[in-house]
Amino acid sequence: MTSPHPVIDHPEVPAALAEIINALSTAAIDVNAIIGHGPLGQTLGAQVGENTDGDTQKALDVQADEMFAHALGQTDVRWYASEEQDIALELNPGGACAVAIDPLDGSSNIDVNVSIGTIFSIFDAKDDAGASFLRPASEQLAGGYVIYGPHCALVVTFGNGVLMFVLDRDSGRFELAAPELHIPEKTSEFAINASNRRHWQAPVRAYIDTCLAGADGPRGRDFNMRWVGSLVAETHRILSRGGVFLYPGDARKGYAQGRLRMVYECAPIAFLAEQAGGLATDGSKPIMSHKAPDLHARIPLVFGSAEEVREVERAHADDTKALEA
């Protein structure tokens, strides 16, 4: 287990949240160590069940959830909402905060050694779990993720810019590596699962087709595409060099609102994107203005470089006008 001494200590981390951020970081160091053993360790990618909506649960999904819940149980957290738990757990009745978490996002990549991560959001705790989490994303106190990649990084915002800490494997502590990540306004790189093209709604197809038309089309320049299948890996790339990510709703059964969850995936990622100078919408409206109807509600997500997010918004507006004509 990781030592009880603080593994992250920086004046930009608000004192009221320092204990929670340290607990999340301490558990993340242990999750990172387990992932780092790969196939030499336990079988991490074995399917062990299904979660709330029937998504497959891998062994490490369940183990990571237990590790984060245990670590946060020692802090000022009252409510713990997780992708791996049907309902929010009450950890400490006197706690002042509520944490929503995807303990291990991208778990279909565990067995192929691709970067995966933990995504989290922190709110002030209300007397009721629902009131703590089913509220405008703009009320978040913090949003962030840990990426378990070639290096382990914690990227977090408290509403005053985006900080990146990297795990120093020698000291076992997270050290500040970047005081302010920024998403460039312009990009020529989009991320979408293009295998779903036939299921997309017209505005998404129209936008992606203009990107694919490249220099021969209305955009007048060529675009590149990335799709890792790990939201945290895509987010880290976009925060590092720009880009636009789309997981839209589509015509597949169960995908009308896309695949990603509002409370513990889209809201924290949107908080980070906006704090880094980018944008995040459901295709038309800011994610930060949305509040989830239920804990595991899904919502379409478009985020990244502002110019491209606006292009997607325009495609949706043009489609609406055409339908109303």
Positions in the binding site for ligand AFP (CB under 6 A):
105-108, 193, 229-231, 259-260
Take residue 233 and report the two structure tokens written for it.
Answer: 């890996």
Cβ closest to ligand AFP, residue 236 vs residue 290: 236
Map tokens 């320092």 to a residue.
Answer: 18
Give the ranges where the chain is alpha helix by DSSP (H).
Answer: 15-37, 59-72, 129-133, 202-213, 231-241, 267-275, 306-324
Q: Least distance in Å: CB of 306 to ligand AFP? A: 21
| CA distance linking residue 12 with residue 9, whole number of Å | 9
Cβ closest to ligand AFP, residue 105 vs residue 282: 105
The CA angle 2-13-20, to the nearest 5 degrees, is 45
Amino acid identity, residue 166? V
Cβ closest to ligand AFP, residue 64 vs residue 231: 231
Cβ closest to ligand AFP, residue 106 vs residue 268: 106
Q: Least distance in Å: CB of 205 to ligand AFP? A: 17
C-beta atoms surrounding 173 within 10 Å: 19
The residues pairing with 224 across neighbouring beta strands, listed in sequence order, are 189
Cβ closest to ligand AFP, residue 140 vs residue 230: 230
| CA distance linking residue 258 with residue 301, whole number of Å | 8
Q: Least distance in Å: CB of 233 to ligand AFP? A: 8
Take residue 325 and report the two structure tokens written for it.
Answer: 């004509």
Q: Least distance in Å: CB of 64 to ligand AFP? A: 11
Map tokens 């067995």 to a residue.
Answer: 111
Cβ closest to ligand AFP, residue 86 vs residue 222: 86
Q: Least distance in Å: CB of 147 to ligand AFP? A: 11
Q: Least distance in Å: CB of 137 to ligand AFP? A: 18
Take residue 89 and report the two structure tokens written for it.
Answer: 């757990």
